[in-house]
Amino acid sequence: MRAWLGAATAFNDDKHDLPAGEREVVSNDGMVTSVLFPDEVDLGEALISMTHPTGVWARQSPDKPKWVASDNEALAMVLGAHFGVEVRPAPADSVPLAKTEMAE
C-alpha cells in the first residue's frame, strides 16, 4: 500500500526527518511525500500513522496537504476526508520503493 501527499510547504530541518520507507520528491506539482507501507500494515495502521498528531504528515509539513492519492482507494478517500482535500488517482508512472530502500 502506498500514499502520496502534495505539499505547499514542508519543514526543512533535522527535527522533522521522515522514517525509513518515506521520501520526499519534487515534481511539477511541488513537494510530494510518498509513503510505502510494509505489507503487514493494515488500513487502520496506515491511517493512524498518516494522521496522528506525531505521525507522518505532522512531521512533514505545518499545513494540511494540497491533495492526497493512494493505490488503496479506501486509504485515499479517508485521507482526503480527514484533511478536507482533493483525492487524486495514484500516479501512473510511480514505481514502488524496493524493500532494501525502505530499510536505509
Q: Establish if 6 belongs to a structural domain.
A: yes
Cell of 86: 482533493
Which range marks the domain in which residue 7 is found?
Answer: 2-88
93 within 8 A of 19, measured Cβ to Cβ: no
pLDDT tens, 24-55? Answer: 555 555 677 888 888 888 999 999 988 988 88
* Per-residue pLDDT tens digits for 10-31: 555 444 454 444 545 555 556 7
Strands 2-7 and 67-70 turn out to be antiparallel
Within-domain flag for 29: yes
The answer to whether residue 99 is domain-embedded is no
Residue 96 is assigned to a structural domain of this protein: no
pTM: 0.72
Per-residue model confidence (pLDDT) at position 33:
80
Query: How far is 27 from 88, CA to CA, in rounded Å?
Result: 15
Query: What per-residue confidence (pLDDT) applies to 15?
Result: 45
In a domain, 79, yes or no: yes
Of all residues in the chain, what percent carry a pLDDT higher than 90? 28
Number of structural domains in the chain: 1
CA-CA distance, 47 to 71, in Å (whole number)? 14
In a domain, 7, yes or no: yes
Question: Residue 94 domain-assigned?
Answer: no
The answer as to whether 98 is a domain residue is: no
Beta-ladder partners of 24: 33
pLDDT of residue 102: 37
